[in-house]
């Protein structure tokens, strides 16, 4: 069994590409091919503002509905006691 070196804190030292299959091991780092990105301006600030506002309204409505449902259930549960 090969000797495993450790760090001062007792952790094993990482050996890059040690667990890769032989054909995948390289001596030089792999660099992804640079692709020409299409000119996509993305979303406009107004569109993002609209989307985030819609998200916020939905969250508020959901929380209100949940609180109302829990409030009704608590009130119904207290009537039976």
Tokens of residue 8, six digits:
């001062």
Q: What is the pLDDT of residue 56?
A: 97
Sign of the torsion angle spanned by Cα atoms 32, 35, 41, 47: negative
User: How many whole angstroms separate alpha carbon 55 and alpha carbon 41?
Assistant: 22
User: How many whole angstroms separate alpha carbon 14 and alpha carbon 26?
Assistant: 16
Q: What is the pLDDT of residue 73?
A: 66
The long-range contacts involving 65-71, CB below 8 angstroms and separated by at least 24 positions, are: none
**One pLDDT digit (tens) per residue for the chain, 81 residues:** 456 688 889 898 888 877 888 777 776 666 666 666 667 778 999 999 999 999 999 999 999 999 999 887 655 555 544
User: How many whole angstroms separate alpha carbon 66 and alpha carbon 58?
Assistant: 12
Q: What is the pLDDT of residue 53?
A: 97
Overall pTM > 0.75: no
Q: What is the pLDDT of residue 41?
A: 77
């Amino acid at each position: 069994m090969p000797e495993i070196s450790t760090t001062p804190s007792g952790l094993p030292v990482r050996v890059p590409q040690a667990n890769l299959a032989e054909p995948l091991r390289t001596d030089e780092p792999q660099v992804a091919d640079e692709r020409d990105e299409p000119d996509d301006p993305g979303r406009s600030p107004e569109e993002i503002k609209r989307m985030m506002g819609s998200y916020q309204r939905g969250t508020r409505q959901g929380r209100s509905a949940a609180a109302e449902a829990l409030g009704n259930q608590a009130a119904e549960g207290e009537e039976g006691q």
